[in-house]
Structure 1
Amino acid sequence: MADYNAPLKDMKLTLNHVARMPELAEKPGFEDASADMVDAILEEAARVARDVVAPTNWEGDQQGVQLKDGKVACPDSFKQAYQQYVEGGWGSLQFDPEYGGQGLPFLLSIPVMEMWHSANMAWGLCPMLSQGAVECLDLNGSDELKAKYLPKLVSGEWCGTMNLTESNAGSDLSVVRAKAEPEGDHYRVSGEKIFITWGDHEMAENIVHLVLARLPDAPAGVRGISLFLVPKYLVNDDGSLGERNTAGALSLEHKLGIHASPTCVMGFDNAIGYLVGEPNRGLACMFTMMNNARLSVGLQGVSISERAYQQALEYAFERIQGPAVGTREAGPIIRHADVRRMLLTMKTLTEAGRGIAYDACGSLDFALKATSAEEKAAEQARAALLTPIVKGWCTEVAQEVTSLGVQVYGGMGYIEETGAAQHFRDARILPIYEGTNGIQALDLVGRKTLMDQGAALAALIEEIRGAIASCDPSLIAQAKQLEEGVVGLTKARDFLLSGAEADAQLPGAIAYNFMMLAGYVCGGWQLLRQATAAVHLAAEGDDDPYLQAKQESARFYMAQVLPRWKGFADMLNDGSRSIMALPEELFASAWQ
């Protein structure tokens, strides 16, 4: 079974020449993010991911989790790996020094997070959820709550969770039934939540649950939801832990993948909780956590794709089979054209996704450090537009990449012992949680395009055209192929804007195809920028073969992957007609 090795060269090129890390390091407060510091952090994170976290992946998948005597037992190796994570200060990179953070750019935490999820996606979900809880509490919590809970959450000594979903309330949170009754300086929270990732475990000494619930006088719908902090163990005034709260796991879900991540049904039985933010504004507070979580899930798509690609590549060099066409002797299967096609598809989709994800996250840092309202608004709009593409497209293509990983192995890929199937199984959750990809597509066409009449998308299209105009002359042919895709994206935007008012079904009917079209074009944009950087670095004397591989990857993507946009454009142009034509009662007509 292949070990995981962080693709540090690609991470660094993407950070520096796509996501604008050197420019960020010049912003006030980010001076510590020097090139040397970035390299040191990435190199050490790669070591921890390879030597500490990755060895837990197979064992975790096979061992799974169990609920025993009210406690969730995780795989044996997980707690030791998590303690090394805490001791290394890995959870504190991007957070406020006032609470023990290192004050580094959010962007720098992204490749580090990618490494954790490539090494072990089930394990990596635990720190990912905790970091989301920090973001939510930091932005919305009272000074008292932040002083009591943030230092331990930032350090990773305590973990955090997000409790939204109920059995009756999946994506529709307007029907949340959990209740919160006021009692002195706190509340009593009661109800059940399902699908709570890392809802309970023994890896950390406390767990901080962020729970959506309704106050007694709350209005109906999403306007009546409040957010509460409910700790597993109550926290005394001196910061020590008190008695166990009446909140815990009732059962564990048995899942297709991420077997070592405890997905809990959580019960809150008159549990003590504390209001976060204003009453009846809980969903707005939670979305500060969910938006970054969606970027993180998109990054998981990149992460699991990278792991699947590395494993398939290693096997393609090791597996000896009959002569490839044009050769006389048996050799490694990488010599076969179809295997090379699969590997290059895996490679380029992964690297394109990495570019989009890093770039979107960088915009959040630039918005934070903006010196004018105009700059801040532009970076925020850019990040908001790219977020559903990162979450949606990167996780959709992860299904293809991990499936191709199984295919490269052939029959052995279908055998669990090789480990290729685990990546395929683990990846399947990604288009579902943190808002299904259908929701991401609706967000892209609705709030991110129709709401501003396509202004943010127009700005992005101009940016892509700027990259086309400034690419290296050796990449002109690839730039022309990308320009065709940009024209297609522009026409899709115009079709949406002109047709949505007359056809109420149009946005929903074309949303998925619109998102995928945008994703493939943005992927080409990122690879063109990366290839241009590689050409320039080579011209400056860098003779690393990786730079040539980067240029060839861009050529492959433009010729073999990017043309998929045409199919999505054709389907999009059909509008809502074929999708909505079949009456509901006729769907089951063949069985009646």
Structure 2
Amino acid sequence: MPAYNPPLRDMQFVMHEVLKVTDEFKALPRHAEVDADTINAVLEEGGKFAAEVTFPLNIPGDEEGCVLDKTTHEVKTPKGFKEAYAKYVEGGWAALSCDPQYGGQGLPFVVNQCFYEMLNSANQAWTMYPGLSHGAYEALVAHGTEEQKKTYLPKLTSGEWTGTMCLTEAHCGTDLGLLRTKAEPQPDGSYKLTGNKIFISAGEHDMARNIIHLVLARLPDAPKGSKGISLFVVPKFNVNADGSLGSRNGIYCGGLEHKMGIHGNATAQIVLEAATGTLVGEPNKGLAAMFVMMNAARLGVGNQSLGLTEVAFQNALAYAKDRVQMRSLSGVKAKDKEADPIIVHPDVRKMLMTAKAYAEGGRALQIFCTLLLDKEHHHTDEKVRKDSGELVALLTPIVKAFITDNGHISTNACMQVFGGHGFIKEWGMEQFVRDNRINMIYEGTNTIQSLDLLGRKVLGNNGATLRKFGKLVAKLVEEEGVNEKMSEFITPIAVLGEQLTKFTTELGFRGFQNPDEVGAAAVDYLRVAGHFVFGYLFALQARVALAAIAAGNTDPFYQGKLQTARFYFAKLFPETATLMRTARAGAAPLMNTDAALA
């Protein structure tokens, strides 16, 4: 059986020593009084909840899965899931970062994101039930009417009700402009929705009394394509004027998907038969409103893979220290044993360090992004709010795609450390691989994220936002460029920064002549940009670690951080050279393949 220990020390290091979040919070009136002790105490208790309540349900939940009663359309979740959720609600965890006016605790997003990393390590399938509610909450905060906010937000905040997003349909996938679900206006101002949705995570379950679906649909006079989509809130149970639950609405689960992983989460086929809903935001502008939830979900999906990378690494490391097999190439290391622990072998260490580096880089990026979100929403300076929002928009596809791709690399590497035992279910490693695999697909495939980054976020404004991030890197390079001890971290990001500017300009010129050039280069481009961001964050961490050691701190944590940063820059960061070369090979080797693909 696998084990899990919340990585509180590294979270504290990134928050308090590298990014100094509590100093940043002083400029945010809502969070000005939040201190490090409060954050640490909350996350310590959150780690206990993840490790002690949800983690033990991970393997049994995967084995049992969800069961649909086709007569009642009700879904039974795996044993223990409902009880764990009741403890989650009772503990106030759902309300952690929600607005106090709706019953929330008003803590920063940073705290909630770290808590959710631990939940994802412990049990991604379970965590998706409450996780999607945060996106529904954010969408209604941003675009809901006062009546909708009054009706739904307190219950979503408390966790008494959960939320979903009902986007895609069988025939359209990510191309939401093709969706067919209809919304007919009613005399009382409500709408009747009819259609079918697929792949709805947590779409039906027995863990909460009501489920609040946010549904994309078309009005009768809607224009074709994505410009004709509206957003509606459609509850499982209609809500009476006094807030009590009324009649069963015409929205139900018609089937459950049989999946590769996340078996404990109900991925539902949702049927709407004259279901009552109310309009969220303006008619035909639903996609913009839904993007609030989609962007929250994309950051959340990156966090899912971060969590799986961390727990896979922890278990692979423990196994590598314990498992003995063969002797070290450089001589016997464990003289009292018949063979050496496999951790002495260089390639085993490479696999372990790859997972460790991608976990620590991903954690730093997640905390960096959620700090930006806190600043975007609550900073007193309008320019800071605007700049923070632009940087989050730039980094969101990197969080979603780069961290999930890295999660795929890492969980597979950690399974490989176990050898044949990694392929056996009881060790838990193959489940981490299976569960992670969906993260590269849903909430917009990683290719979609790559196109979004290069086509919209970078070339769409002629690189203006990318240059804003580049200024952060340039500032660090200027501050540490003469520090010889930092050269191994500073030189690579300085060189890549110059290369990335030329690379981006070149791709923009090519794309102007032939849009397929952008499509051909986008995935490679995102990984280059991802390494640029990770490189910056690892350099920040190395600077703090070097300063601590120079000040006489003997905590081995800092030496470990330096070793991880050195490994990252020596063994993973150089991938950028190959990626730029393959991107520059252009579209022709891909598109001139009619005979090969006949």
TM-score range, shorter chain: over 0.9
Which residues in structure 2 correspond to 1:564-579 (within 5 Å)? 564-579=575-590
The offset of 1:316, in angstroms, is 0.7
Structure 2: distance between partners of 1:408 and 1:528: 28
The offset of 1:498, in angstroms, is 2.9
The offset of 1:247, in angstroms, is 1.1
Asked if 1 retains the 8 angstrom alpha-carbon contact of 2:379 and 2:385, the reply is yes
Asked if 2 retains the 8 angstrom alpha-carbon contact of 1:24 and 1:30, the reply is no
Which residues in structure 2 correspond to 1:234-249 (within 5 Å)? 234-249=238-253
Residue in structure 1 matched with residue 56 of structure 2 by the alignment: 55
Structure 2: distance between partners of 1:504 and 1:210: 34
Structure 2: distance between partners of 1:538 and 1:47: 31
Asked if 2 retains the 8 angstrom alpha-carbon contact of 1:492 and 1:572, the reply is no
Q: State the SS of the aligned residue for 1:76.
A: coil
Does 2:206 correspond to 1:195? Answer: no
Residue in structure 2 matched with residue 506 of structure 1 by the alignment: 517
The offset of 1:19, in angstroms, is 4.2
Question: Which residue identity does 2:393 align to in structure 1?
Answer: A
Which residues in structure 2 correspond to 1:25-104 (within 5 Å)? 25-26=25-26, 27-68=28-69, 69=71, 70-104=73-107
Asked if 2 retains the 8 angstrom alpha-carbon contact of 1:162 and 1:196, the reply is yes
Q: State the SS of the aligned residue for 1:430.
A: helix
Bigger Cα displacement from structure 2, 471-480 vs 523-532:
471-480
The offset of 1:478, in angstroms, is 2.6
Q: State the SS of the aligned residue for 1:54.
A: helix
Within the candidate set 345, 359, 365, 2:354 is matched to 345
Which residues in structure 2 correspond to 1:422-571 (within 5 Å)? 422-471=431-480, 473-571=484-582
Within the candidate set 362, 376, 381, 2:385 is matched to 376
Question: Which residue identity does 2:52 align to in structure 1?
Answer: D
Residues 494-520 of structure 1: CA distance to partner in whole angstroms, max 9, x if unpaired? 212333222222211110110011112
Q: State the SS of the aligned residue for 1:278.
A: coil
Structure 2: distance between partners of 1:444 and 1:17: 30
Which residues in structure 2 correspond to 1:88-237 (within 5 Å)? 88-183=91-186, 184-237=188-241
Question: Which residue identity does 1:261 align to in structure 2?
Answer: N
Q: 1:127 to 1:18 in 2, by over 3 A?
A: farther
Bigger Cα displacement from structure 2, 199-208 vs 69-78:
69-78
Structure 2: distance between partners of 1:52 and 1:542: 35
Structure 2: distance between partners of 1:553 and 1:380: 30
Structure 1: distance between partners of 2:20 and 2:549: 19
Does 2:430 correspond to 1:421? Answer: yes
Structure 1: distance between partners of 2:197 and 2:473: 43
Does 2:314 correspond to 1:303? Answer: no
Structure 2: distance between partners of 1:470 and 1:60: 50
Asked if 2 retains the 8 angstrom alpha-carbon contact of 1:197 and 1:261, the reply is yes
The offset of 1:96, in angstroms, is 1.1
The offset of 1:348, in angstroms, is 0.4
Asked if 1 retains the 8 angstrom alpha-carbon contact of 2:320 and 2:341, the reply is yes
Figure out how many residues of one structure are paired with residues of the other and give that number. Answer: 587
Structure 2: distance between partners of 1:387 and 1:256: 26
TM-score, structure 2 normalization: 0.96
The offset of 1:277, in angstroms, is 1.1
Q: State the SS of the aligned residue for 1:227.
A: strand
Asked if 1 retains the 8 angstrom alpha-carbon contact of 2:215 and 2:233, the reply is yes
Q: State the SS of the aligned residue for 1:434.
A: coil
The offset of 1:18, in angstroms, is 4.3
Residues 435-479 of structure 1: CA distance to partner in whole angstroms, max 9, x if unpaired? 111111111111111111111112212212322333464232232
Question: Which residue identity does 1:44 align to in structure 2?
Answer: E
Alignment root-mean-square deviation, CA: 1.4
Asked if 2 retains the 8 angstrom alpha-carbon contact of 1:488 and 1:569, the reply is no
Q: State the SS of the aligned residue for 1:400.
A: helix
Structure 1: distance between partners of 2:515 and 2:62: 45
Structure 2: distance between partners of 1:332 and 1:499: 52
Structure 2: distance between partners of 1:529 and 1:108: 21
Does 2:260 correspond to 1:290? Answer: no
Question: Which residue identity does 1:25 align to in structure 2?
Answer: F
Within the candidate set 389, 411, 418, 1:409 is matched to 418
Asked if 2 retains the 8 angstrom alpha-carbon contact of 1:253 and 1:264, the reply is yes
Residue in structure 2 matched with residue 10 of structure 1 by the alignment: 10
Asked if 2 retains the 8 angstrom alpha-carbon contact of 1:441 and 1:512, the reply is yes
Question: Which residue identity does 2:513 align to in structure 1?
Answer: A
TM-score, structure 1 normalization: 0.97
Structure 1: distance between partners of 2:396 and 2:51: 29
Within the candidate set 348, 354, 357, 2:366 is matched to 357
Structure 2: distance between partners of 1:539 and 1:162: 50
Q: State the SS of the aligned residue for 1:199.
A: coil
Residue in structure 1 matched with residue 24 of structure 2 by the alignment: 24
Asked if 2 retains the 8 angstrom alpha-carbon contact of 1:127 and 1:159, the reply is yes
Residue in structure 2 matched with residue 259 of structure 1 by the alignment: 263
The offset of 1:20, in angstroms, is 4.2
The offset of 1:12, in angstroms, is 1.3
Bigger Cα displacement from structure 2, 334-343 vs 362-371:
362-371
